[in-house]
Structure 1
Amino acid sequence: MRGEGSRSRVRHQDPDDGVHDGGRDASGGRSTRNGHGPRERSRPPENGYRHGGPNRRSRRTAEGGGRRVLRWVASVLALLILGTGGAGYLYYKHLNGNIRKEDLTLGDKPMADHKANSAGQTPLNILIIGSDARDSEANRKLGGAKETFGGTPLADVQMLLHLSADRSNISVVSMPRDTMLKMPKCTDPDTDKVYPASTLPVQTNESLGRGGPGCTVAAWYELTGITIDHFMMIDFEGVVSMADAVGGVPVCVDANIYSHTGDGKGSGLKLKEGTTSVKGEQALQWLRTRYGFEDNTDLGRAKAQHQYLNSMVRELRKGTKLTDPGKLMNLAEAATSALTVDKGLDTVKKLYDLAEELKKAPTNRITMTTMPNVYGTGNLSGRVFPKPEEAEQVFRMIREDVPLDGKASKRKTTVTKDVAAPAAEIPVSVRNATGKDGLGPVQGRATTVKNLLTDAGFAKTSVDSQNVEAADRTGVLYPSADMEGDAQAVAKALGVPVSQVRKSTSVSGIVLAVGADWREDGAYPAKEVEEKTPESAGALNGADEKACMKVNPNFTF
């Protein structure tokens, strides 16, 4: 939820901006990006539910058999994380019609398959996007900044939610909207306009204007290598309607705060020291506040968003807010109307099923973090870059399903029960993926490692000389479960950890990708991989009720 006040849309200008998408134009239709005319969305015709909803008797009748159908609402709510409550099946088709859908990814690189754990489970990664679109009367009133009305929306909130394969924990990573990164090639599905890959770093929130949320997904994958299963996008109006439907959420500040500057910047948030329950527009102000928290940057705003989301989860889990059927129906209406999702989440049933998975993780196993980062210099002063090594450490932990709260998952990757064939009968293709930090692959590495395997008895080893995408870490890929034992045998012969063996539909046989961690001759440099979340990620536990935002002394009263 973006910064506040007026700001320029010109790249690398003043970083004072203000969050969100998915809005509607003044006539009620879905507005377009880039001025290409309204996008068509399938919406139900006007009916009784639009104007007052079903009668009381219908609600009571629906409560019985359909009570489970909308438990998902509480978890999807405002980017969230856990389901509870219930409502009626009467709204099912109506609510399906509320949901807006777009393509999952607009990039030209297929995302890799997830690595299953020993129980055959795979993780879930969901990208939460907040758009700052001023494309409807309500969004313009809430967002301000008249010079941006009708302009290209920016993805000013980006949070990756990772649900572990064993469903024991959830990790959330926020990326500051001022993060500079290289954009992938994206093709707008509505106009067929192609946005070429950028050669220079671009501010990450501009990804939304390159075809839609699918380009934001592609940009995340380009930077992190994390496979993203779904996205959910929300705008100003959606946040307010959902915050109203949920009711108050307690937040804390360590001093009086008034987010306002003499030249009109700031969210307008005004709270007294201590804990206050916020909802509606005041909740949106909290989520958008930059001027007044910590160092007046997007980093402080991300912490405030984490505090709000954790607090909302705790409130919802108490169950006291979701006992009235009428309120639940209002919440369902607000949630489905507020969200734009990928086509894999285009029905209430799919959202419900997702929420049933999300709510398996207890509150004290939810960890909110921010991508470790550093500030740019010179003409990029105030912009943010991923912090070398530490940002990749967080991304690697997500890729490898390592909990960010420091606690071990219930199920670790183990040696498969699938018996390996004799080494001499296992065909292996070796790829040179040793490129790193702008450096090309080390010449001859694939041949050198192929010889190591041959010496170990793998007589059917060959070199794949095709163009290969660089990989940070060496890995062994296999296409199906009946070849997992063979793949692990290859890894064992070279000293590669079994955790670096994974299933992939992009290969037809066993492939050894020699990564940038093995650019030097000799045995594989296996080493203990650090599994601790860097302090720079600012981890906040979901059960922490003492979290309180530090107020900048220049914004107190």
Structure 2
Amino acid sequence: MGEKTGRRTPRRRGLRIALFTLAGLVLVGAGLGGVAYWKLNGNIHSVDISGQLGTARPPASTGGAFNVLVLGSDSRSGANGSLAGGDTGDTARSDTAMVVHVNQAHTAASVVSIPRDTLVSRPACTAPDGKPVAAARSAMFNSAYEVGGPVCAVKTAEQLTGMRMDHFVEVDFAGFAALVDAIGGVDVTTTVPIDDQDSGLRLDAGTHHLGGEQALAFVRTRHGVGDGSDLGRIELQKEMVKAMLGQVGSLGLSSNPVAMWQLGDRLTSALTTDSDLASVGSLVGMAQTLKKIGPEQLTMVTLPVAYAASDPNRVVPKTPDAPQLWAALRTDGAVPASVLREQPANPAQASPSAQASPSARATSVRGGAE
């Protein structure tokens, strides 16, 4: 849905505060000494995306615009196993995928969620262990991460969009839950009950305060809303982002260095990034770049899709809307109006054929109080 309104609330200041939290970490680290700053840097895991992909990529962004691929991993390894349920192991898929395009002036951003079940042409990749991975003509988008790790996920996203992913950021189950706990949980309101046996989430209609594990179940829920596909879950994930921004905005981090430090420690521990972003200084630099972007300058949409003819449980990018969306972003344009019109009015209506009129934009699940 296009998230654009004019009324300014504490939540609408939340994104700016979240970005400047990183800037504050530099000051806190300096005050606590070099060891503290070193610890924050050491928390961040990194992957050399550029070094492994080489030059066979879309052209680098020019004029100041840039793109970030944000992934949520469903890894069951380590601390993730007890949170995720099911078998544990070393394999993982990108359960959540968002392409963030920041415009040349750094005054607005478009966020495109890619349903995990989207069938795409997956390019040949190299697995993290060095073994070659053959190309696939029709593979689920999230399988790229499973067979080739972050590098293959980035390569697949670049082939799908025709845009270079200038940066990469990943958060896993345990990291997300810890981050929500670090900000004191989040408030969400749902107008319909949710009962999803797979995620374990059971909520009556109404307002609820969720801790880390429940928030994780909220963003993983799909069988409890809409048509049971990934599309309803994506709508919940968008609303969770807003709820988290609202909660961060209420913490008063600028006057509470202890809270800022605790959040910074959790935040950096939760992240895996490309090598160019893998330091507090680089993250602060990005925060400074994005300081003019608040929620009112943020447009969040789901990639237009249609049911796949080969499999009713899979979707494919919808023509001509999906190609038009990527073409607009490649030229630093706004999300096309035709794509905005296709976004669901609420998670329960999310399906490949769902359309909502501008007058039906009231969401059934929203983060925090208005």
Percent of pairs identical after alignment? 34
1:496-527 deviations in whole A, cap 9, x for unaligned?
A: xxxxxxxxxxxxxxxxxxxxxxxxxxxxxxxx
Q: Which runs of 5+ in 2 are unaligned?
A: 1-13, 347-360
- Counterpart in the other structure of 1:144: 85
Say if 1:251 and 1:280 are closer, same or farther in 2 by CA, change over 3 A.
same
Task: Name the residue aligned to 2:155.
Answer: 218
Residue number among 87, 90, 95 corresponding to 2:40 in the alignment: 95
* Residues 102 and 342 in structure 1, CA contact (< 8 A), matched pair in contact too: yes
1:27-42 to 2 correspondences below 5 Å: none
Q: Residues 151, 96 of structure 1: CA spacing in aligned structure 2 closer, same or farther, 3 A cutoff? A: closer
Shift of 1:211: 2.7
Please state how far the C-alpha of 1:310 moved relative to its aligned partner: 2.0
Between structures 1 and 2, the one with greater strand share: 2
Aligned pair 1:400/2:314, yes or no? no
| Structure 2 CA distance for partners of 1:241 and 1:322, relative to 1, 3 Å | farther
Write out per-residue CA displacement over residues 230-250 of structure 1, whole angstroms, 9 at most, x where no aligned residue. 011111100111011112322
Instruction: Give, in angstroms, the shift of residue 97 of structure 1.
Output: 0.9
Report SS of the residue matched to 2:339. Answer: coil
The aligned counterpart of 1:162 is: 101
Find the residue that maps to 1:129 and give its secondary structure: strand
Cα offsets for 1:415-452 (capped at 9, x unmatched): xxxxxxxxxxxxxxxxxxxxxxxxxxxxxxxxxxxxxx
Shift, 1:205, TM fit: 0.7
Question: Residues 376 and 385 of structure 1 are in contact (CA less than 8 Å); yes or no, is this contact kept in structure 2?
Answer: yes
Q: Which runs of 5+ in 1 are unaligned?
A: 1-73, 117-121, 261-265, 405-529, 551-557
Contact in 2 for aligned 1:313/1:363 (Cα 8 Å): no
**How far does residue 340 in structure 1 lie from its aligned partner after superposition?**
0.7
Matches of 1:253 and 1:275, distance apart in 2: 6
Do residues 125 (structure 1) and 48 (structure 2) align?
no
1:238 paired to 2:175: yes
Q: By how many angstroms is 1:313 displaced?
A: 2.1
Superposed displacement of residue 81, structure 1: 7.2
Larger Rg: 1
Distance 2:261 2:250 in 1: 19
> Does the CA contact (< 8 Å) of 1:369 and 1:539 recur in 2?
no
Deviation per CA, 1:464-496, whole angstroms, max 9, x where unpaired? Answer: xxxxxxxxxxxxxxxxxxxxxxxxxxxxxxxxx
Mapped contact 2:115–2:231 kept (Cα < 8 A): yes
Tell me the residue number matched to 2:193: 256
- Classify 1:301/1:531 alpha carbon distance in 2 versus 1 (closer, same or farther; 3 Å): closer
* AA in 1 matched with 2:285: D
Q: 1:282 to 1:531 in 2, by over 3 A?
A: closer
TM-score by length of 1: 0.55
What's the counterpart of residue 364 of structure 2?
548
Which residue in 2 is equivalent to 1:202?
Answer: 139
Q: Who is 1:44 aligned against?
A: none
Contact 1:249 1:277 in 2 (8 A): yes
Amino acid at match of 2:45: R
1:286 to 203, 207, 218: 218
Q: Is the 8 A contact 2:21 2:264 kept in 1?
A: no
Q: Which residue of 1 aligns with 2:209?
A: 277
2:130 maps to 1:192: yes
Alignment-derived partner of residue 355 in structure 2 = none
The question of whether the paired residues in 2 share the 8 Å contact of 1:99 and 1:340 is answered with yes
| Counterpart amino acid of residue 189 in structure 2 | C
Shift in CA distance, 361/374, structure 1 to aligned 2, threshold 3 Å: same
Counterpart in 1 of 2:313? 382
CA contact (8 A) 1:370 1:539 kept: no
Matched ranges for 1:416-435 at <5 A: none
Give the match for residue 536 of structure 1. 342
**How far apart are the structure 2 equivalents of 1:110 and 1:294?**
37
Q: Does 1:114 find its partner at 2:45?
A: no
Matches within 5 A, 1:437-456: none
**Alpha carbons of structure 1 residues 282 and 359: separation in structure 2 relative to 1, 3 Å:** farther
CA shift at 1:351, angstroms?
Answer: 0.6
In 1, Cα distance between equivalents of 2:80 and 2:148: 20
Question: In 2, distance between residues paired with 1:368 and 1:141?
Answer: 31
Q: Which amino acid aligns with 1:549?
A: V
Superposed CA RMSD:
2.5
CA distance in 1, matches of 2:20, 2:333: 23
Greater helix share, structure number: 2
- Give the letter for the 2:263 counterpart: L
Alignment of 1:468-483 (within 5 A): none
- Encode CA deviations 1:215-271: one digit per residue, 9 max, x unaligned: 1011011111012110111111001110111123222211222222xxxxx211122
Q: 2:284 maps to what in 1?
A: 352
In the alignment, which residue of structure 2 is the partner of 1:336? 268
Q: Which moved more, 1:96-105 or 1:229-238?
A: 96-105
Structure 1 pair 273/323, CA: closer, same or farther in 2 (3 Å)? farther
C-alpha separation in 1, matches of 2:338 and 2:19: 25
TM-score (norm 2): 0.82
- From the superposition, tell whether residues 75 and 333 of structure 1 become closer, same or farther in structure 2 (CA, over 3 Å): farther
Report the 3-state secondary structure (helix = DSSP H, G, I; strand = E; otherwise coil) of the residue aligned with 2:273: strand
- Once the two structures are TM-superposed, the CA of residue 75 in structure 1 deviates from its matched residue by 6.2
